Amino acid sequence: MAQIVAAALASHAPLITGRPEVSKPEQRDRLYAGFHELRRRFAAARPDLIVMLVNDHLQNFPYSNMPAFCIGLAKAYDAPSPGGAGLMRIPPRKVAGAPEVGLALLESGLAAGFDFAYSYEIESWDELSVPLHFLEPEGKLPVMPVYTNCGAPPLPTPRRCHAVGGFVGGFIRSRPAAERIALVATGGISHWVGTPETGRINPEFDHRVLDHIARGDVEPLLDLTWADIERDAGNGGQEIRNWIALLGAVPGWKGEVLAYEPVAEWITGCATVWVHQ
Amino acid sequence: MTMPISYALNKVLTAIARQHVLKEHLTDADLAGHDLTEAERAALKAGDVTSLYHLGANPYLIRRVFRARFRI
């Protein structure tokens, strides 16, 4: 049977790699150390596939067709694309997809009442590229992303995201093959992007979320409304839906916060969290 | 949900964002063929990121296109 051998939460922001020099060296060093420790544990778990719970930034899904949950069925993903590479200062590269696994998840979901959308072509932005740059720099492992709408309200509720994550976790565990699957959720925590409050970070909210995750106390996060998150964590904070989905996939698991830094220069509350039994 | 959504604004900004170019402001040529209100046209042509937000443009698209307008 397939196993979930690793689970990680990691913030994504293009400036984490794109403009390291503008951040305070001590903050940057602590956060990068968190990413490096995540990478060490990730490699030790020897996954052979990464299921990524992520969100689009209006790079792919337009307002003419906006999926709440979308499975990537591409053969490969730009991570980053040539267009995004300059901003993120990560050389453009392709990482392999896992369309057979994605299709199986899609069909399984439709049969169970989880009506995912799907896409055969996705141009990734920082949601895949930045965390993979740290976690899997060689780019050898295939990736199967599930995109949740975190950026174009109205958004799915955190409780629904948790249920979708739970379905994805159950799907993985039910696969007959002896696959070793890693789960990685990216995004968040608090940040205001493109709004009049751009640059604001709310460490109080971030610590509250991280404390809940560390205790495995997910329930209060599921009751957060769009308005709660928008007020306390900004439009970027809506990306905690990805984290909540991952926690749904591994019920009872707890987070170990490896790093948290509210990096003003990267306009994001940045964390790396190892999630374990 | 209290946030306004302007499909017309987001359609223009999506088209520009996909070109991977940064703008200080948009031109009449950028706006040609789009069904925009006067206030929307004015905000796009001025690169007025605050007005665009309040008029219902998606903040990720505002940032992507008018990145140069932000302090950080």
Three-state secondary structure along A144-166?
Answer: EEEEECCCCCCCCCHHHHHHHHH
Our count of domains for chain A comes to 1
Report residues of chain B scoring pLDDT below 50: none
In DSSP notation, A115-142 reads --EEES--B--HHHHHHHHHH-TT--S-
CA A14 to chain centre: 14
What pLDDT is stored for residue B1 in this prediction? 57
Whether residue A123 is contained in a domain is answered as: yes
Of A217, A47, A61, the residue nearest A151 (C-alpha): A61
Contact B69, B22 (CB under 8 A): no
Cα→Cα distances A266→A12, A19, A26, Å: 10, 8, 14
Whether residue B64 is contained in a domain is answered as: yes
Whether residue A277 is contained in a domain is answered as: no
Cα→Cα distances A47→A6, A51, A123, B44, B55, Å: 7, 10, 24, 47, 46
Whether residue B65 is contained in a domain is answered as: yes
Residue type at position B11: K
Which domain, by its residues, includes A242? 3-267
CB contact under 8 A, B1 and A154: yes
Whether residue B2 is contained in a domain is answered as: no
Identify the closest residue of chain A to B51 by CA–CA distance. A196
What pLDDT is stored for residue B71 in this prediction? 87
Whether residue A275 is contained in a domain is answered as: no
B17 touches chain A (CB under 8 A): yes
Whether residue B1 is contained in a domain is answered as: no
Whether residue A253 is contained in a domain is answered as: yes
Whether residue A274 is contained in a domain is answered as: no
Smallest Cβ–Cβ distance between A198 and the set B14, B58, B70 belongs to B70
A225 touches chain B (CB under 8 A): no
Q: Which residues on B lie below 8 Å from A230 (Cβ)?
A: 3
Identify the closest residue of chain A to B69 by CA–CA distance. A194
Report residues of chain A scoring pLDDT below 70: none
CB contact under 8 A, A58 and B11: no
- The answer to pTM > 0.90 is yes
Whether residue B62 is contained in a domain is answered as: yes
B31 touches chain A (CB under 8 A): no
Which domain, by its residues, includes B19? 7-69
Q: Write out the two tokens for A30.
A: 């602590």
In DSSP notation, A12-26 reads --HHHHH-GGGS-HH
Identify the closest residue of chain B to A266 by CA–CA distance. B72
B68 touches chain A (CB under 8 A): no
Q: Write out the two tokens for B26.
A: 């948009």
Say which CATH number the domain at A118 has.
Answer: 3.40.830.10
Q: What is the nearest CA distance from A191 to chain B, expressed in angstroms? A: 12
Our count of domains for chain B comes to 1
Which is it for the CA torsion A39, A45, A171, A81, positive or negative? positive
φ, ψ for residue B35, nearest 5 deg: -95, 90
Whether residue A276 is contained in a domain is answered as: no
> In chain A, positions 174-203, which contact chain B (CB-CB < 8 Å)?
193-196, 198-199
Whether residue A187 is contained in a domain is answered as: yes
CB contact under 8 A, B18 and A59: yes
A216 touches chain B (CB under 8 A): no
What pLDDT is stored for residue B5 in this prediction? 96
Q: Model ipTM?
A: 0.95
CB contact under 8 A, A83 and B58: no
